[in-house]
């Protein structure tokens, strides 16, 4: 029996969250009224100047919400494009500056937008992609980062996401940037050997404090659809002195980095969504953290279900809206299908790999074996999530887990062996398999 949208429990806000009513009303008015006159914001006539002024105001509002300069804000179609423009733009800029093999340093936990862009830059532009080590919670190892930066001249960029989009772990960005500055010996862009640092803050903004200036970043990525704006609008912050070379031609909009007629309606929607999310973050954090704890407590009370982030470790910062789990000897697709049939919308991880059955690269990098890395559940909550939503998930989970385990046993034609669920042995056996270059 199908379940209507109205009766469903949506717990996949980390993938995308519903458009906020205030934002929807603004977008509808902008489209209905044509922003006071349909025109390209780059046009020189009166209508164009009017729309151009509205774009400038949206840029200023977003900059104010992020506490940056308006000239540092560049609009894009979303976080993926922004990440790609920064990684590719820095690789090309380093090549233009005479670096034969520009190095892009990342963690192995990054969003595919960063990892795939770094690998493509290495393969097609003669660069090098280096992944640093992380610990069992997914926190970047400063010593590994230092080694990667000092491995030789030519580091074009370091890119570390502020909060992981799967597990929700939050990095010490200020500390990591300081590690890069100490390792390179250069603290100002004009200094020889200076290494720019970028952070994908898509999963962090609106959920945990984000401070471009205090962290000492050179570039930062944000997007709208995680915060209540429509899909299709994002931005990145880039210091004025950060040199980026665009991989494409065009009209040279957005400081010459991202060509194309700007989406003024989307820019205004993004500015409003960020303003609202930042303003309510502190109040929402406490409510969401209580819901997260309830999910983890209820789920881990079931046999063979574990919290991904270390239990009892208060020193591991995390976003309050994501509860990430892994379970023993189960089939993820069967689990998700059973929950879906029960009217529960959750995911196994990043929606960017939807339809592709593979172990989580995030958990593999954290030291998990392939079995647990394939058997994960991400419950992510948002503004509209209630305590009843969480209870519906917990009520549906036992039967869903039974279905997942039956599917797992049938696929392997073996009897369940409880020893395979031992977390320590699973993580230790995977240590030698981690896709990490610098340790």
Tokens encoding 59: 């840029």
Which contiguous run of DSSP H or E holds residue 236? strand 234-238
Residues known to be catalytic: 352
The C-alpha atoms of residue 337 and residue 69 are separated, in whole angstroms, by 46
C-beta neighbour count of 370 within 10 angstroms:
16
Nearest residue to 158 (alpha-carbon basis) of 147, 170, 150, 149: 149
Q: What is the 3-state secondary structure (H, E, C) of 145-210?
A: HHHHHCCCCCEEEEECCCECCCCCEECCHHHHHHHHHHHHCCCCCCCCCCCCEEEECCCCCCCCCC
C-beta neighbour count of 24 within 10 angstroms:
15
The C-alpha atoms of residue 127 and residue 119 are separated, in whole angstroms, by 9
The C-alpha atoms of residue 284 and residue 287 are separated, in whole angstroms, by 5
- Chain center to CA of 392: 27
Burial class, 31, CB count within 10 angstroms (exposed 0-12 / middle 13-18 / buried 19+): exposed
Tokens encoding 267: 């820019």
| DSSP-assigned beta bridge partners for residue 228 | none
Whether the Cβ atoms of residue 192 and residue 215 lie closer than 8 Å to each other: no
């Amino acid at each position: 029996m199908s379940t209507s949208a109205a009766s469903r429990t949506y717990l996949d806000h980390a993938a995308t969250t519903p458009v906020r009513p205030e934002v929807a009303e603004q977008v509808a008015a902008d489209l209905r009224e044509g922003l006071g006159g349909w025109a390209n914001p780059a046009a020189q006539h009166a209508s164009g100047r009017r729309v151009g002024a509205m774009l400038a105001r949206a840029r200023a509002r977003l900059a104010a919400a992020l506490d940056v300069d308006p000239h540092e804000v560049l609009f894009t179609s979303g976080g993926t494009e922004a990440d790609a423009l920064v990684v590719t733009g820095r690789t090309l800029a380093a090549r233009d500056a005479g670096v034969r093999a520009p190095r892009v340093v990342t963690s192995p936990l990054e969003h595919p937008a960063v990892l795939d862009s770094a690998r493509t830059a290495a393969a097609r532009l003669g660069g090098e992609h280096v992944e640093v080590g992380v610990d069992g919670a997914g926190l970047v190892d400063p010593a590994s980062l230092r080694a990667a930066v000092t491995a030789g001249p030519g580091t074009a960029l370091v890119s570390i996401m502020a909060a992981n989009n799967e597990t929700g772990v939050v990095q010490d960005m200020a500390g990591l940037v300081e590690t890069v500055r100490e390792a390179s010996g250069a603290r100002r862009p004009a200094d020889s050997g200076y290494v720019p640092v970028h952070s994908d803050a898509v999963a962090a903004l609106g959920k945990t404090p984000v401070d471009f200036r205090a962290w000492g970043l050179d570039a930062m990525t944000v997007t709208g659809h995680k915060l209540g704006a429509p899909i299709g609008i994002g931005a990145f912050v880039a210091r004025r002195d950060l040199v980026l070379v665009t991989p494409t031609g065009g009209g040279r909009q957005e400081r010459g980095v991202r060509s194309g007629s700007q989406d003024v309606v989307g820019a205004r929607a993004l500015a409003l969504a960020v303003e609202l999310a930042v303003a309510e973050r502190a109040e929402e954090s406490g409510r969401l953290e209580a819901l997260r704890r309830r999910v983890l407590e209820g789920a881990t009370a079931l046999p063979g279900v574990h919290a991904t982030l270390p239990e009892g470790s208060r020193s591991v910062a995390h976003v309050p809206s994501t509860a990430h789990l892994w379970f023993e000897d189960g089939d993820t697709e069967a689990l998700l299908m059973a929950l879906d049939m029960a009217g529960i919308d959750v995911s196994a991880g990043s929606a960017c790999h939807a339809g592709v059955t593979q172990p989580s690269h995030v958990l593999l990098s954290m030291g998990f074996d392939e079995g647990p890395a394939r058997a994960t559940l991400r419950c992510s909550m948002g503004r509209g999530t209630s305590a009843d939503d969480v209870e519906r998930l917990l009520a549906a989970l036992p039967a869903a887990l039974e279905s997942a385990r039956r599917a797992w046993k049938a696929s392997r034609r073996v009897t369940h062996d409880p020893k395979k669920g031992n977390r320590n042995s699973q993580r230790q056996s995977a240590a030698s398999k981690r896709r990490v270059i610098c340790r």
